[in-house]
Chain A
Amino acid sequence: MEFQFQFDWQAAINAIPFLAKGIPYTLMISFGGLAIGFLLGILFGLLSINKNWFLRWPAITYIEIFRGTPILVQVLFIFYGLPDLIGAPIDPLTAGIAAIALNSGAYISEVVRGGVQSIDKGQNEAGLSLGLSRTQTFWSIIWPQAFRRMIPPLGNQAIVSIKDTSLFSVIGVGELVRQGQVYIASTFTAFEVYFVVALMYLAITLSLSLVLRLVERRGLASI
Chain B
Amino acid sequence: MTQIVKMKGMNKHFGKLHVLKSIDLTVEQGEVVVIIGASGSGKSTLIRCVNGLEEYESGILEVDNHPLAPKAGNQKTLAEIRKGVGMVFQQFNLFPHLTVKKNIMLAPMKVKSASQVIANATAERLLERVGIGDQADKYPSQLSGGQQQRVAIARALAMEPKLMLFDEPTSALDPEMIGEVLDVMRELAKDGMTMMVVTHEMGFAREVADRVIYIHEGKIVEEGNPSEVFDNPQNERTQAFLSRVLAH
Contacts and interface: CB of A to CB of B under 8 A. Distances in A.
B111 A125 contact: no
* Interface size class of chain A, counting residues whose CB lies under 8 Å from the partner chain: 10 to 19
A140 B159 contact: no
A129 interface: yes
A125 B165 CA distance: 13
A136 B110 contact: yes
Contacts of A144: 97
A123 B79 contact: no
Contacts of B165: 129
Given A129-B82, A130-B82, A222 B89 contact: no
B110 A129 contact: no
B156 interface: yes
Contacts of B93: 120, 122-123, 125-126
Contact of A125 (B53, B79, B106): B53
Interface in B101-122: 106-107, 110-111
Interface string B78-102: 0100110111010101111100000
B51 A129 contact: yes
Contacts of A131: 79, 82-83, 107, 111, 159
Interface in B49-93: 51-53, 79, 82-83, 85-87, 89, 91, 93
A140 B97 CA distance: 10
A140 B94 CA distance: 13
A66 B156 CA distance: 45
Contacts of A128: 51-53, 82
List 6 A-B pairs, minimum CB-CB distance, nearest first. A126-B93, A130-B107, A122-B93, A129-B87, A131-B83, A131-B111
Interface of B: 51-53, 79, 82-83, 85-87, 89, 91, 93-97, 106-107, 110-111, 139, 141, 155-156, 159, 165
Interface of A: 120, 122-123, 125-126, 128-133, 136, 140-141, 144-145, 148, 222-223
